[in-house]
Amino acid sequence: MMSSSFNIFRVGISVVIMCIFYKSAVDSLSELSPQKYFSTLQPGKASLAYFCQADSPRTSIFLEELNEAITPLQDYGISVAKVNCVKEETSRYCGKEEDLMKAYLFSALLFNEVKYITTLEDLQNIENALKGKANIAFSYVRAIGTPEHRAVMEAAFVYGTTYQFVLTTETALLESIGNEDIENAHLYFFHCKQVLDLTLQCRRTLMEQPLTTLNIHQFIKTMEAPLLTEVTEDPQQVSTVHLQLGLPLVFIVSQQATYEADRRTAEWVAWRLLGKAGVLLLLRDSLEVDIPQHSNVIFRRAEEGVPVEFLVLDDIDSLISHVESNVHIEEIQEDEDEDTKSPNMDVQDDEVAETVYRDRKRPLPLELTVELTEETFNTTVVASDSIVLFYAGWQAVSMAFLQSYIDLAIKLKGTSTMLLTRVNCADWSDLCTKQNVTEFPVVKMYKEGKNPVSYVGMLGTEDLLKFIQLSRISCPVNITSVQEAEEYLSGELYKDLISYSSVSVLGLFSPNMTTAKEDFTEAGNYLKGYAITGIYSEEDVLILSDKYAATLPALLLSRHKEGKIESIPLANSHAQDIIQIITNALLETFPEITVENLPIYLRLQKPLLILFSDGSINPQYKKAILMLVKEKHLDSLTPCWLNLKNTPVGRGILQSYFDTMPPLPLLVVVNLHSGGQVFAFPSDQAITEQNLLLWLKKLEAGLENHITILPAQEWKPPLPAYDFLSMMDAAASQHPTRKDPECTKEMDVQENDKKQHEDKSAIIKEPIETLRIKHWNRSNWFKEGEKSFRHDNKEL
């Protein structure tokens, strides 16, 4: 086999940057042994330590960069050290370079300090929660894994205990806080700590420099510095953190008489210049040094030896622009070499894959579930009722769901007779194929080792729990007496289950209705895990049928929430029809739509009539719609409502319907399945039965105009793929004839040079092109070689 060519950059990404608490502050990159390093650690001080094998050459580039970062980092009180792991070293942080396991554990901790959010509502919730308590560092990055993202995470490591770090990748969220520049990463500092009035918004400061680790450190340091400092010394002598950070100082010259007004002005200026310059209030009266009579502002540059400027400025704006035009922020470039030029197609934009990758070193308490193999599978599922999770170790959704599965195991620990097991299909491929598992993940329930029931619900703990609980009882349950039937219908019999299914279904049959019973039993089996079904066919069944006015065979539907029992005749209904009846019965007539139940209601293939409500629904609206339902005016629609408090994504939905957020509540008809038109009920009309009916009539007659049409297919590829075909074409076209190998080689080199030259202009647009050429020379040689020996192959 070939050898693996390692590339330094890859290693660089996964390289350990750990912040640990450390006391010493040395100037150059100190190289320590692990024992020494840990013995010098002290709480309260941040340190950046890099663990590496003592004689490893691969990390040298990284170390060079680390060296360069020492001085800037020390300005923030972070010391830097390289810890040499010698071969015999047994410290848990050392380890083979390839696995760097402990380092990942640290970064896993880091993620807990950062909140990922997706909506404005999330942001507002966090903001509200932290008012008067802590400040927030909110950042938007285009994708997880970008250099900007890493920079934010590293900052969170250092400052995560002081500030709440919040992260989003949602462009809509960035736009909703008024930033249209979705191409670049941004960081906002929310000054929430001093906000005591909860109705007020936290002030926000946007970091203007690119998001690099050092820039963020610098920015946060300026946020930490006092907004306004009063001084009475010589402006030339004053020193604040700003100067150390390379930022200028602005002194507002004040005197006793106008102190109050000046202070307000200075504060105002300080907010405007936050992150760009330090603002100080200088009391002229108590100052010994002379300052020109009319000057009201003193400007001091960060560079040493530059004399202060005495300025006379009329208004704040000219002050600000003066500062901004004079600020020279030294941009400290971090190592961005390949990241900046590649289109970042390598960035993981699948959130499930990303989180699984992120947590890959976090050990799961897998021991709570039994791992099955080809040898143990059959005996296990025969010996005990089992839930089997079929998954593939390499598949992200599988691994994310495995986490939920373990959570479920924790929840059910000691309470369930059901054995939770798992099969890794990456190992036991044949077993999975035999069990008809062709996709991942799949959950099946085996009772007495036979007729496994497949779970088709959402891949989450709650839904799976519901499935398991409802599967505890046989489906249908055989009810043996009228009294038991009554208990069953009232919800008494399975009290603990009705929280999982609000409807109990009871089939009533005369003892001789064999076919009908079989059909019902088949339907019950089919709905196992999703519904509570029972069957009663004793001689005295007439007592029940009389009581509930049912003609045998019949279904009784007991809706526990509403305390209603209705009956449906079942004459000549086949299993499939019964399943349909029960499935429909489980649907609500006017449900609250959530992310989880939407697919079920969409399956009805009808246009949705959605009432968007900020909080619980107005009972009058509900009444009006229920009335319309009852009068069968809404049969062609699926009426439902959406609580923006429970389902914040609704806000995003509304925003895509209307450009701005419309006033709530709001009624909308969405024709998702044909055409995609969206119609809005006029907001100036009250939502009453009559108005609604009139509007729906007009809608039906085509008299209403839609407000928008949803595009048929919005699921476009998030990023382009490598176009290998054109790369191959380009390579082939560069190589048209090969008559004289020597000559061609030379020509190619020239051509390549030329091409490379041309490509430079388009380097951002087509970076791969250049990469391709870089490698091209190499493969060129082999073609030549092959050619000269081709006739050889043909012999024999």
Partner 1 sequence: MRLAAAARLWGPPGLLLTFALHPALCLRPARTAAPPHRDYCVLGAGPAGLQMAYFLQRAGRDYAVFERAPRPGSFFARYPRHRRLISINKRHTGKANAEFNLRHDWNSLLSHDPQLLFRHYSRAYFPDAGDMVRYLGDFADRLRLRVLYNTTIAHVTLDKDRQAWNGHYFILTDQTGQAHRCSVLLVATGLWVPNQVDFPGSEHVEGYESVSVDPKDFEGQNVLILGRGNSAFETAENILGVTNFIHMLSRSRVRLSWATHYVGDLRAINNGLLDTYQLKSLDGLLESDLTDLAVVKDHEGKFHITLKFFLEESNQSADAITLPQDDNDNFAMRVAYDRVIRCLGWKFDFSIFNKSLRLSSSGEFSKKYPLVKASYESKGSRGLFVLGTASHSVDYRKSAGGFIHGFRYTVRAVHRLLEHRHHHVPWPSTEHPISQLTNSIVRRVNEASGLYQMFSVLADVILLKENATAFEYLEEFPMQMLAQLETITGRKAQHGLFVINMEYGRNFSGPDKDVFFYDRSVGHTEDAWQSNFLHPVIYYYRHLPTEQEVRFRPADWALPRPTAIHHIVEDFLTDWTAPVGHILPLRRFLENCLDTDLRSFYAEAMKVGAAPLIITGLAAVTRQK
Structure tokens at 538: 């004793």
Starting at the earlier edge strand, list the strands of the sheet with 228-231.
228-231, 278-283, 249-254, 297-300, 309-311
Among 346, 562, 577, 746, binds partner 1 (CB under 8 A): 346
**Shortest spacing between CB 724 and partner 1, in angstroms:** 4
Query: Which residue lies nearer to partner 1 by CB, 79 or 424?
Result: 424
Q: How far is the CB of 595 from partner 1 (least distance, A)?
A: 5
Judged by beta carbon, residue 463 or residue 759, the one nearer partner 1 is 463
For partner 1, which stretch binds (CB under 8 A), given 38-46, 461-469, 508-516, 692-700? 461-469
CB of 32 closer than 8 Å to CB of 81? yes
590: Cβ–Cβ under 8 A, 6 or more apart, which residues?
A: 622, 625, 626, 629, 639, 640, 641
Q: How far is the CB of 430 from partner 1 (least distance, A)?
A: 5
Verify binding: residue 605, partner 1, rule CB under 8 A: no
CA-to-CA distance for 656 and 653, rounded, in angstroms? Answer: 5
**Cβ at position 529, least distance to partner 1 in Å:** 17
Q: Considering the rule CB under 8 A, would residue 99 count as an interface residue with partner 1?
A: no
- Under 8 Å between Cβ of 100 and 14: yes
- Site for partner 1 contains 246 (CB under 8 A): no
Of the residues 105, 352, 364, 568, which one makes contact with partner 1 according to CB under 8 A: 352
Residues 724-753 that bind partner 1 (CB under 8 A): 724-725, 727-728
How far, rounded to the nearest angstrom, does the alpha carbon of residue 717 sit from its chain's CA centroid? 18
Question: Which amino acid is it at 43?
Answer: P
Among 138, 140, 428, 520, the residue binding partner 1 under the rule CB under 8 A is 428
Q: How many amino acids of this chain bind partner 1 (CB under 8 A)?
A: 100
Enumerate residues 441-460 that contact partner 1 by CB under 8 A.
458-460
Between residues 384 and 708, which has the closer beta carbon with respect to partner 1? 708
DSSP 593: P
CB of 393 to partner 1, least distance (A): 8
Q: Which one of 93, 188, 440, 467 is in contact with partner 1 (CB under 8 A)?
A: 440
Pairwise CA distance, residues 251 & 299, whole Å: 6
Q: Which member of 39, 199, 705, 793 binds partner 1 (CB under 8 A)?
A: 793
Among 227, 231, 419, 710, binds partner 1 (CB under 8 A): 710
What's the DSSP call for residue 28?
S
Report the distance separating Cα 776 and Cα 755, nearest Å.
12
The region of 47-55, 185-193, 436-444, 584-592 touching partner 1 under the rule CB under 8 A is 436-444
Q: 550 is written with which tokens?
A: 């049912």
Q: One symbol per residue from 358 to 377: x for binding partner 1 (CB under 8 A), - otherwise; what is it?
A: ---------------xx---
Residue 439 found at the interface with partner 1 (CB under 8 A)? yes
262 contributes a contact to partner 1 by CB under 8 A: no
User: Is residue 427 at the binding interface for partner 1, with CB under 8 A as the rule?
Assistant: yes
Beta partners for 536?
Answer: 508
Phi, psi (deg, nearest 5) at residue 81: -145, 145
Cβ neighbours of residue 166 closer than 8 Å, sequence gap 6 or more: 114, 115, 117, 123, 126, 136, 137, 138, 139
Selected range binding partner 1 among 243-251, 529-537, 573-581, 714-722, rule: CB under 8 A: 714-722
Give yes or no for residue 722 binding partner 1 (CB under 8 A): yes
Residue with tokens 């030329």: 754
Cβ neighbours of 540 (radius 10 Å): 10
Only one of the segments 516-524, 648-656, 745-753, 754-762 lies at the binding site for partner 1 (rule: CB under 8 A); that segment is: 648-656
Q: What contacts 206, CB < 8 A, 6 or more positions away?
A: 179, 186, 187, 188
Q: Which residues, listed in sequence order, are joined to residue 388 by a DSSP beta bridge?
A: 421, 444
Look at residue 514 and give its three-state secondary structure.
Answer: helix
Q: Which of residues 465-504 bind partner 1 (CB under 8 A)?
A: none
DSSP 3-state assignment of 58?
Answer: coil
> CA 419, CA 368: separation in Å to the nearest integer?
10
* Binder among 244, 256, 429, 584 for partner 1 (CB under 8 A): 429
Q: For partner 1, which is the closer residue by CB, 349 or 751?
A: 349
- The yes or no reply on residue 400 touching partner 1 (CB under 8 A) is yes
101-160: contacts with partner 1 (CB under 8 A): 116, 118, 121-122, 125
**The only residue of 222, 369, 461, 504 in contact with partner 1, by rule CB under 8 A:** 461
Answer for which of 97, 113, 267, 462 binds partner 1 (CB under 8 A) is 462
Measure the CA–CA gap between 347 and 739, rounded to whole angstroms. Answer: 43
CB 182 within 8 A of CB 131: no
Q: Which is nearer to partner 1, 81 or 141 (CB)?
A: 141
Residue 702 gets the label, from left (phi > 0), alpha (psi -120 to 50) or beta, of: left
Q: DSSP state, 300?
A: E
End-to-end CA distance of the chain: 28
718 touching partner 1, by CB under 8 A:
yes
Kindly state the smallest distance separating residue 678's Cβ from partner 1, in Å: 10
**Residue type, position 418, single letter:** M
Residues 689-708 that bind partner 1 (CB under 8 A): none
By the rule CB under 8 A, 759 interacts with partner 1: no
Residue from 350, 492, 631, 753 binding partner 1 (CB under 8 A): 350
Decide: residue 416, CB within 10 A, 0-12 exposed, 13-18 middle, 19+ buried: middle
Q: Is 3 in the site for partner 1 (CB under 8 A)?
A: yes
Residues 6-45 that bind partner 1 (CB under 8 A): 6-7, 10
Does 301 help bind partner 1 (rule: CB under 8 A)? no
φ, ψ of residue 757 to 5 degrees: the values are -65, -50
Question: 3-state SS of the chain: helix, strand, coil percent to 5?
Answer: 40, 20, 45
Which tokens hold the place of 459?
């891949």
Our CB check for partner 1 shows the closer of 703 and 712 to be 712
Under a CB-based contact definition with an 8 Å cutoff, are residues 447 and 415 in contact? no
Q: Is 310 helix (H, G, I), strand (E, B) or coil?
A: strand
Q: Does 412 bind partner 1 (CB under 8 A)?
A: no
* Under rule CB under 8 A, residue 351 binds partner 1: yes
* 3-state secondary structure (DSSP) of residue 508: strand
Distance, CA of 570 to CA of 558 (rounded, Å): 16
Shortest distance in whole angstroms from residue 365 CB to partner 1: 17
C-alpha distances in angstroms, 181 versus 144, 171, 174? 18, 9, 8
Among 31, 75, 349, 759, binds partner 1 (CB under 8 A): 349
Tell me whether residue 543 or residue 602 sits nearer to partner 1 (CB atom). Answer: 602
C-beta of 695: minimal distance to partner 1 in Å? Answer: 22
Question: Residue 392 or 485: which CB sits closer to partner 1?
Answer: 392
How many angstroms from the chain centroid is the CA of residue 164?
Answer: 17
To the nearest whole angstrom, how small is the minimum distance from the Cβ of residue 768 to partner 1? 5
Q: Does 796 bind partner 1 (CB under 8 A)?
A: yes
Min CB(66)–partner 1 separation in Å? 24
Cβ nearer to partner 1, comparing 233 with 463: 463
Q: d(Cα 404, Cα 457) in Å, to the nearest integer?
A: 13
Residues 760 to 789 in contact with partner 1, rule: CB under 8 A:
768, 771-772, 775, 778-779, 782-783, 785-786, 789
Tell me how many degrees the CA angle 696-699-701 measures, rounded to the nearest 5: 115
Please list every residue from 653 through 692 that binds partner 1, using CB under 8 A: 653, 656, 670, 672
